[in-house]
Amino acid sequence: MTKAPTVVALIVAAGRGTRAQSARPKQYVPLAGAPVLAHTALAFLQHPEIDRVMIVLNRDDHALYTQEVAPLLAVSGTPVSTCIGGETRNISVKNGLLALENTGVSTVLIHDAARPLISAELISRVLARTVEGGAAAPALTLSDTLWRGRDAQVTGAADRTGLFRAQTPQGFDFASILSAHNRLTAPATDDVEVARRANLPVAIVAGDPDNIKITTPGDFARAARLIRQKTGSPMDIRSGNGFDVHAFCPGDHVTLCGVRISHRQGLLGHSDADVALHAITDAIYGALAEGDIGQWFPPGDPRWKGAESAVFLHHATTLSADKGYRINNVDCTIICESPKIGPHVDAMRDRLAGIMAVPRTRLSVKATTTERLGFAGRGEGIAALANVILIKSGEG
């Protein structure tokens, strides 16, 4: 059977964007509830014709990407890879192409991270023409009169016939554009120029006026207005993380994700010491900026002595709904040497689904060990780490 062609979106996010005059690189500035780069990447990740996404990062931005963007992209289900860019856009694109070499890519769409309003329709137009002819790029015809000037004075008019405003994504046969970049000897303004220098014909497809590139401070406000027009309200995505630890104590079982598991020891805690549910609950509170489980259910309060931790998680879930958020997904990692978690994962996901009223397909439970290092490795207790994504109801 012939393998289907692989289409990859290569998002260039290694620049500094100094003209945006922001305290951080413009691709990480919040826009309608999420970083600019998250909006851009999700447009491709959610497109049915895109098989993979490669994001080219600045080496100084790894923490920003990991903490603020990656959790928002994990929900898409489409693979996301990253690589490190270079000092110029040309070098960054080439690094991205080289990272994709020998991975079976047939077509690549190269897009600027600073264009977060790219539409599915424009992606499809560029991709279809690229597959048909080997290279295509979107552009807008010029409607304004063009002047020539000197010393702030008009000196004449310019003929706008045959002139276009270039946009991205710019699509190419992968092998052809990689070869063109490998032969590049002088800086080029974009990948169409790289292709033209290599004598590759590039078709023009109709661009989208809303596919703006964020360059100056005023562009953020314009982009936010366009998002509000498209969605009816600002996009509001929240991410939160939770971490909890409980020590072993005498007992004959542990409770994890609401599931009782026979064990030679129990877990020490004021409630049922369900370390996994505590981590998930804290992640929800964190995403809502509503403190932590200890503030809502103080460990010194006798009402919660021996309580099922499902009570705490149900409260956090209800609070989220009351504030207008739905739980998009949960990812929980249980850290221990024993008991074995694998045989109980399905039951745990079912239990979580029942408590949270979230489909089990959006609930991940997995386990790892610490290779016998630290308190968990010595069998002194169990830890859990959880991440959640909340989306304002009616969005996403």
Give 287-312 pLDDT, tens digit per residue.
999 999 999 998 888 888 888 999 99
Query: What is the sign of the dihedral through the CA atoms of 174, 176, 179 and 184?
Result: negative
Mean pLDDT, residues 79-102? 95
Neighbouring residues of 265: CB distance < 8 A, sequence distance ≥ 6: 248, 249, 250, 251, 254
Higher-pLDDT residue of 226 and 166 is 166
Beta carbons within 10 angstroms of residue 63's beta carbon? 8
Beta carbons within 10 angstroms of residue 269's beta carbon? 21
Residues 231 and 395 sit within 8 Å (Cβ to Cβ): yes
CA distance 116 to 285: 29
Q: Determine the 3-state secondary structure of 139 from DSSP.
A: strand
Query: What pLDDT is attached to residue 49?
Result: 94
Does the structure show a pLDDT above 90 at 172? Answer: yes
Listed residue (102, 114, 126, 110) closest to 49, CA to CA:
126
Listed residue (189, 165, 176, 162) closest to 130, CA to CA:
176
Query: What pLDDT is attached to residue 19?
Result: 65
CA distance 169 to 12: 10
Structure-token match 């000897």, residue found: 185
CA distance 164 to 139: 6
Kindly report, residue by residue over 230-260, the tens digit of the pLDDT: 766 556 788 999 999 999 999 999 999 999 9
Kindly report, residue by residue over 336-383, the tens digit of the pLDDT: 999 999 999 999 999 999 999 888 889 999 999 998 999 988 989 999
**Tokens at 251, concatenated:** 């007992």
Query: What pLDDT is attached to residue 4?
Result: 59
Query: What pLDDT is attached to residue 18?
Result: 61
Domains of the chain and CATH, by start? 6-231 (3.90.550.10), 237-392 (3.30.1330.50)
Q: What is the largest CA-CA distance in the chain?
A: 89
Listed residue (227, 203, 239) closest to 329, CA to CA:
239
Residues 294 and 242 sit within 8 Å (Cβ to Cβ): no
Q: Determine the 3-state secondary structure of 296 from DSSP.
A: helix
CA distance 35 to 210: 18
Kindly report, residue by residue over 44-70, the tens digit of the pLDDT: 999 999 999 999 999 999 989 998 899
Encoded amino acid at 296, one letter: W
Q: Determine the 3-state secondary structure of 214 from DSSP.
A: coil
What region, left, alpha or beta, does residue 140 occupy, with left being phi > 0 and alpha being psi -120 to 50 degrees? beta
Torsion of CA 227, 12, 204, 213, to 10 degrees: 40
- Binned at pLDDT 50, 70 and 90, residue 3 comes out as very low
CA distance 235 to 224: 9
Q: Whats the size of the chain, residue-wise?
A: 396
Question: Peptide bond before 339: cis, by omega within 30 degrees of 0?
Answer: yes
Kindly report, residue by residue over 138-153, the tens digit of the pLDDT: 999 988 888 899 999 9
CA 306 to chain centre: 39
- Binned at pLDDT 50, 70 and 90, residue 1 comes out as very low
Classify residue 213 by its DSSP letter.
P
CA distance 392 to 396: 8
Does the structure show a pLDDT above 80 at 396? Answer: no
